[in-house]
Structure 1
Amino acid sequence: MSAFSAPPPARQDRRKARTRAALVAAAQHLLSEGEDAHASIQAITELADVGFGSFYNYFSSKEELFEAAAATAVDDYLRWLSERLPDGIDPVARLIESVRQTGRLALEQPRIAAILTRRLALLDNGDDPRGQRIRADVRAAMAVGGAVPETLEFDILVTATLGAIMAVLRRTISLSPAETAEAADVLAHAVLRLLNLPSTGVAR
């Protein structure tokens, strides 16, 4: 092969993946700091340490990049959460453990926690697979308590639950580790009361 031959496709793909990942990581940093609204494409590419001209090989606008960065953060959060949920637990215990773990998110994944507090709509969108995952957990738990899904009350309770989680996430960003753990446990049992769910088998 000539020294001037193009690199193999696999190498090109890896290089493209690294460049895209660098842009997404830079956008996530700006999102977590609340600096996305005023960031220029030049600033983003400098933060990502990639050439300005390469930006448009991956995204048509900075808005598209920030949407991709936020969606990736939510996917990372759901993956992180799944790794912490035991298999085979009942729906109520699963929901409450999800809430408890999410309350601790700022301790282990502060960047993701900060992004989630600014992009709640991604978790509250029933048409998005991410929102469907959250709603499915709430629906299953509420069915145990005798609630009727697909009603206005259900939709309001889902939104209220997500709002409570986001409120605690915002607080835990500035709390100590011990205070964060306590706030997460308080949140879990507040959600039980909010949804009128039984606490049998749920750790206190």
Structure 2
Amino acid sequence: MPTTPNEAATPATSRHQRRREKTRARLIEAARTLVAERGVDAVGLSDITEAADLGVGTFYNYFASRDEIVEAVAEESIESLGARMDSMTEDMPDTAERFASSLRHLVRHAMSDPLWGWFVVRLGIAHPKLIGILGPRAARDLRYGVDAGRFTITDIDIATACVFGSLLSTLHHVVSAEAPENIDEIYARAMLCMVGMDPAEAEEVATRPLPELP
């Protein structure tokens, strides 16, 4: 049977797609590493292309600007983790445990992948992409806790800002100092106390067995 044009083009198209994916991945990894090492403002487009060993023209085949690739790195590095945590916690009956488990996994991820931790820390509290990914999730979990009677919060927005700021500070401590092995539990307990839980109950919730991420 003769090969149709579409069938003949499939292997070449697949190879081309794989090459594009590998090239994009090189750019993403270079940008993630540089931002983790230097911070967003100290990384230029030429730094990224040099680290990836690619030309500037190649860069523009994938991203329109330095800011766009930084947003793509944040999306791939943080949003995917957030989605996995959502899946892990969606059926948890205790809203306090849901909140604590997500915070603990964020801290543990920085412990197991310091480059990721530095990327989040250096991206910083002011970066809209980071706020846009983590902020709504924190606010959602806080509202769930209030609605369930587990948390006592006067202002969700202020509480979210406190959680967000303290998270970045804790991640910075994790990647730059010798943190205790149970720092994820210590941090989760502190946040549960902040939202009105009794210290003894906060301790119990924060030290429950932590489910694995899907």
TM over 0.5, shorter chain: yes
Corresponding position of 2:212: none
How many angstroms apart in 2 are the aligned matches of 1:180 and 1:103? 12
Gaps spanning 5+ residues in structure 1: where? none
- 134-143 vs 185-194, which deviates more? 134-143
Q: TM-score under structure 1 normalisation?
A: 0.79
5+ residue gaps in structure 2? 208-214
For residues 42 and 154 of structure 1, do their structure 2 counterparts lie closer, same or farther at Cα, with a shift above 3 Å needed?
closer
Separation in structure 1 between the aligned mates of residue 60 and residue 96 of structure 2, nearest angstrom: 46
Which of 154, 157, 161 lines up with 2:156 in the alignment?
154
| Percent of aligned pairs sharing the same letter | 29
Worse overlay, 110-119 or 21-30: 110-119
- C-alpha distance in 2 between matches for 1:93 and 1:146: 10
The alignment covers a number of residue pairs equal to 194
1:60-104 CA deviation, whole Å, 9 max, x = no partner? 222221222222221243256457659534211011121222222
Superposition pairs for residues 66-85 of structure 1, below 5 Å?
Answer: 66-79=70-83, 81=85
- 1:160 Cα deviation after fit: 0.6
Contact 1:77-1:112 within 8 A present in 2 as well? no
Alpha carbons 2:96, 2:145 under 8 Å: kept: yes
Q: Secondary structure at the match of 1:9?
A: helix
Question: 2:66 maps to what in 1?
Answer: 62
| Length-normalised TM-score, structure 2 | 0.76
Distance 2:206 2:183 in 1: 15
Check the 8 A contact 1:103/1:181 in 2, yes or no.
no
Distance of aligned partners of 1:180 and 1:31 in 2 relative to their CA distance in 1, 3 Å threshold: farther
Tell me whether 1:29 sits opposite 2:7 in the alignment: no
1:174 deviates by 2.1
Q: How has the CA–CA distance of structure 1 residues 64 and 135 changed in structure 2, closer, same or farther, with 3 Å as cutoff?
A: same
Mean Cα deviation higher: 187-196 or 167-176: 167-176
Quote the Cα distance in structure 2 between the aligned partners of 1:165 and 1:40: 27
- Structure whose residues are more often helix by fraction: 2
Paired amino acid for 1:202: V
- Matched residue SS, 2:38: coil
